[in-house]
């Protein structure tokens, strides 16, 4: 008899797996910061949520696009509390084509985000602490 038939399947350390978050589920989230790709990051019940269309400091309702392990991919459906930085994206295709992930941020804040991302990568990967930007 196979192990699966006897109920001896592998169990990860710490007990049983938490149930997956179903695709399509809506969840209210507080966005803590931005990921390197411009998506908002929130944390709930041991899971990390990556939310497209959300900014740091915002309270949003997001729809789950998919989940794997402790990572949930979601899209902003509604903004309850908007960031003071939020603006209307100048591109009419923003949010559809994927090329304008941070157009809802003012240009100077887009540059600051990209500089922060570069500085973090230089520090983490190359062990270099960049000086002030020119």
Residue 10 maps to a domain? no
Q: What CATH number is attached to the domain comprising 107? A: 2.40.50.140
Integer Cα distance of 111 and 44 in angstroms: 29
CB 29 within 8 A of CB 42: yes
Residue 17 confidence (pLDDT) = 65
CB 49 within 8 A of CB 42: yes
Residue 133 maps to a domain? no
What is the tally of structural domains in the chain? 1
Residue 13 maps to a domain? no
Q: Give the tens place of pLDDT for each residue, 50-85.
A: 999 999 999 999 999 999 999 999 999 999 998 888
Q: Is the pLDDT of residue 16 over 90?
A: no
CB 104 within 8 A of CB 86: yes
Residue 1 maps to a domain? no
Domain span at 120: 26-126
Mean pLDDT in residue range 15-30 = 82
pTM of the model: 0.72
Residue 15 maps to a domain? no
Give me the torsion for CA of 72, 76, 79, 84, rounded to 10°: 90
């Amino acid at each position: 008899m196979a192990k699966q038939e006897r109920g001896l399947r592998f169990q990860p350390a710490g007990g049983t797996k938490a149930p997956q978050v179903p695709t399509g589920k809506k969840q209210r989230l507080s966005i803590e910061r931005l990921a390197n790709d411009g998506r908002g990051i929130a944390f709930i019940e041991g899971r990390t949520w990556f939310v497209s269309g959300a900014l740091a400091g915002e309270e949003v309702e997001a729809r789950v696009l998919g989940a794997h392990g402790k990572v949930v991919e979601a899209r902003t459906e509604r903004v309850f509390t908007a960031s003071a930085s939020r603006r209307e994206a100048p591109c009419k295709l923003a949010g559809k084509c994927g090329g304008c992930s941070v157009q809802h941020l003012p240009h100077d804040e887009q540059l600051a985000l990209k500089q922060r991302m570069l500085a973090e990568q230089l520090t983490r990967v190359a062990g270099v602490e960049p000086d002030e930007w020119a």
